[in-house]
Structure 1
């Protein structure tokens, strides 16, 4: 059993977060306690989403984690945990890009041609 962590509210509407996991290939829903195949041949995806407005966090899957981050042999619960961690950490990652755009007037709609 993993330690509990609090999921942050939606950054757009402050709504309640929900988490879902599914089979990477069939897209069938899977339970958090689904046993992993002995050969770890099953792949899973998970994401957190806002129950109120539908905003969605990044889709985390075992294929991408193994290919790009060299994280292998994960259970459904572990993939869901990573999805929650990424949901909770998403707010400030690109703030420097926003601030740079602000300095150049690019955060306005419609943009004024320069």
Structure 2
């Protein structure tokens, strides 16, 4: 059995996360228990989105995972798990960029004229 992951709430509105998986070629939504055929070339895509505000985590797909991370023969559940992990892994990585922009007045709209 796969170890469950507790997904964190939306970072914007604290809404509940929803995880969906798709056939990457057809765009058809697939059930979580979609059977995996190792002889098939089927590719999958999954992402987490907020039920309330619609914020979306990164789109994770099996083709990109194969090309850039050398992870092959992934089932839909594998791709959905990675999407859930990446939803939970978001943090203030870019906070220093925001703070630097704040010092220069770049976080205002409209920006002051130069």
TM-score (norm 2): 0.92
Alpha-carbon distance between aligned partners in 2 of 1:97 and 1:107, rounded to the nearest angstrom: 10
Equivalent pairs counted in the alignment come to 114
Residue matched to 1:104: 104
CA RMSD of aligned residues (A): 1.3
Deviation for aligned residue 1:33:
1.7
Q: Give the corresponding residue for 1:6.
A: 6
Q: Which residue of 2 aligns with 1:34?
A: 34
Alignment match, 2:87: 87
- In the TM superposition, what is the alpha-carbon distance from 1:40 to its structure 2 partner? 4.5
SS at match of 1:82: helix
**How many angstroms apart in 2 are the aligned matches of 1:8 and 1:81?**
14
Which 10-residue stretch deviates more, 11-20 or 63-72? 63-72
2:70 and 2:93 map into 1 onto residues whose CA distance is 22
Q: Does structure 2 conserve the Cα–Cα contact (< 8 Å) formed by 1:17 and 1:48?
A: yes
Q: TM-score, normalising length from structure 1?
A: 0.92
Aligned equivalents of 1:3 and 1:54: distance in 2? Answer: 27
Report the 3-state secondary structure (helix = DSSP H, G, I; strand = E; otherwise coil) of the residue aligned with 1:90: coil
Consecutive unaligned residues in structure 2, runs of 5 or more: none
CA distance in 1, matches of 2:22, 2:7: 19
> Structure 1 stretches (4+) deviating beyond 6 angstroms?
none
- Native 8 Å contact 1:40 1:73 kept in 2: no
Segment drifting more, 32-41 vs 73-82: 32-41
Aligned residue for 1:109, secondary structure, equals: coil
